[in-house]
Structure 1
């Protein structure tokens, strides 16, 4: 999936990153590598300086503004990426999960859709872990 084929507007790309910043902040552990990652992502998405500043500012904001996306495809893509990002450390915390469900509700996405995405991510993690085990077959 190419992000630029799904998120087509500056506003959608900016909101995508702002939402992910707030998700990253949910656990309370913010390190500089996360901030650097999002700065690079904003540049990679070719966001304007104004949008990059908005993403940067979101690290210090307490309340996330409403995320606006063009359509359900963009909303679901945000949720997919958010759930995958939450699982990157093999730990999808209750705080992260609550955040995802709250945002999904705000975006008018059903719990059933979120549950399907969660199952897809979980299946992907299992698949990846099985691949890692294959590396030890001959050892």
Structure 2
């Protein structure tokens, strides 16, 4: 998978559908989480097609995702779902949806758990579950 091409396509798509810098930033953060998940969990190789032999444990690559998203996109992923739930409300903005969706993934144990985590927050459930589910699918695959 060409990472740059994937990010470029995500940016183009977000510019049309969201037309806002925060929307593009959110789309790129989710794209990066998916690419990192596919790279570490999915057995992909580097951009040259060479297989990568070193694989991290689930918790190790979640740390990689969290650190990358915080560094590259400036999202605060230090909160927990239990810390978010009491005050979380419907909000359609990327800055109040994308980090929460990523946290729902980071706290998950499998695909179904990730979706349950996202729904448990309330708010814009379909968007939260779609974002969380896309990262979870890249990580865990889809259950039967």
Q: Same fold (TM over 0.5)?
A: no
TM-score relative to the length of structure 2 = 0.30
Q: Which has the larger radius of gyration?
A: 1
When normalised by structure 1's length, the TM-score is: 0.31
